[in-house]
Amino acid sequence: MQTKSYFPTLIFFIILIIGIALAYILFGVQVRTEGIWMVIIFFLIALIVSSAIKIADQWEKAVVLRLGSFQSLRGPGLFFIIPVIDTIPYWIDIRVITSSFTAEKTLTKDTVPVDVDAVLFWKVLDPKKAALDVAEYKSAISWASQTALRDVIGKTMLSDMLEGRDKISKELQVIIDERTEPWGVNVISVEVKDVLIPHGLEDAMSMQAQAERERQARVILGDSERQVAQKFEEAARSYSSNPTALHLRAMNMLYEGLKTNSTIVIVPSTALESMQLGGLAGITALTLGVTPESQKKEKEKENGKSKKVNK
């Protein structure tokens, strides 16, 4: 890409105007052969000087050939060449350049056609090699990137490609850098943007992922129920060894139900008897501190008193 600069053109017109002005001063308004030749000479001088002046931007290097042979790299800034003898066939951009490349309908290792989009970040380190050792180095880099991407896809399973994009990017960077290094190009990084798979396979993978999530949910639910059952079993063992704790738990449940105005379900008496609560009387007795042992002691006391009275 040749630098767009108006400075050489400006120099050309300045020299030409100076020549016309001198011809006018020396020969007046009359048209004379000497004046015409002076204008022609200044025109040629302006043309040669403007052709010799070149300006390269900060990010550019000019490849100068002298009579077809490599002469030097020029730039950035103002420099001069010999018109006609020196030529500049290439202006090399040495900034970091991004190039997109794709691989369409490429088979993976498990024979799945995929479309892969990637981005290449590269820069020219040696403008001489980029200009002289390869024709159209940008096109060469693009083709090298595409072939490398196809090679990597063909050696990779679909699952590894979907899960390991970073690994594929690093592998691509190494391969492309090896291919472009002789051209004076350095590959900075490669980023895999997207991996597109067929719609049918995409639906199947979505169903598989959904089934896997449901399986995990069922496993978690089963583990939760098992843990709850273990806690209930431990609680049952504690209640079986401590009837008073069981009675207190029953009273607490009844109290909580009454406090929150919840619906209370009347259960059969057999269930209450299994809890050793014969009914409301049993609960009331428990609240008053009356237990079966205390009732037995009271009966023994009453029997003792009755025996004394009989005597």
- pLDDT tens-digit profile, the chain (311 residues): 444 567 777 787 888 788 777 777 776 655 566 667 777 888 888 888 888 888 898 999 999 999 989 999 998 888 999 988 999 999 999 999 999 999 888 888 888 888 899 999 999 999 999 999 998 899 999 999 999 999 999 998 888 888 888 889 999 999 999 999 999 999 999 999 888 887 776 666 667 667 777 788 888 888 888 888 887 777 777 767 777 766 677 777 776 766 666 666 655 555 555 555 444 444 444 444 444 555 556 666 666 655 544 54
Rounded to 5°, the CA angle 64-5-60 comes to 45
Strand-pairing partners, residue 90, are 63
Nearest by Cα to 127 from 98, 100, 88: 88
Cα first-last separation, the chain: 135
* CATH fold label, 96-197: Tetrahydropterin Synthase; Chain A (3.30.479)
In the chain, domain spans: 6-93, 96-197, 199-244
Tell me, what's the pLDDT at 290?
44
- Which residues, other chains included, contact 254 with Cβ-Cβ below 8 Å and sequence gap of 6+? 264, 283
Q: What secondary structure, in 3-state letters, does 55-104 show?
A: EECCCEEEEEEECCEEEEEECCEEEECCCCCEEEEEEEECCCEEEEEEEE
> What would the two tokens of residue 101 be?
């490349």
Tell me, what's the pLDDT at 234?
77
The beta-strand segments (E) located in the chain are 53-56, 60-66, 69-74, 77-80, 86-93, 97-107, 113-124, 185-196
97-133: pLDDT as tens digits: 999 999 888 888 888 888 899 999 999 999 999 999 9
Own/partner contacts of 284-291, CB < 8 Å, gap of 24 or more, are 286/247, 286/251, 287/251, 291/244
Tell me, what's the pLDDT at 64?
94
pTM score: 0.58
| CA–CA distance, 306 with 311 (Å, rounded to integer) | 9
Tell me, what's the pLDDT at 280?
44
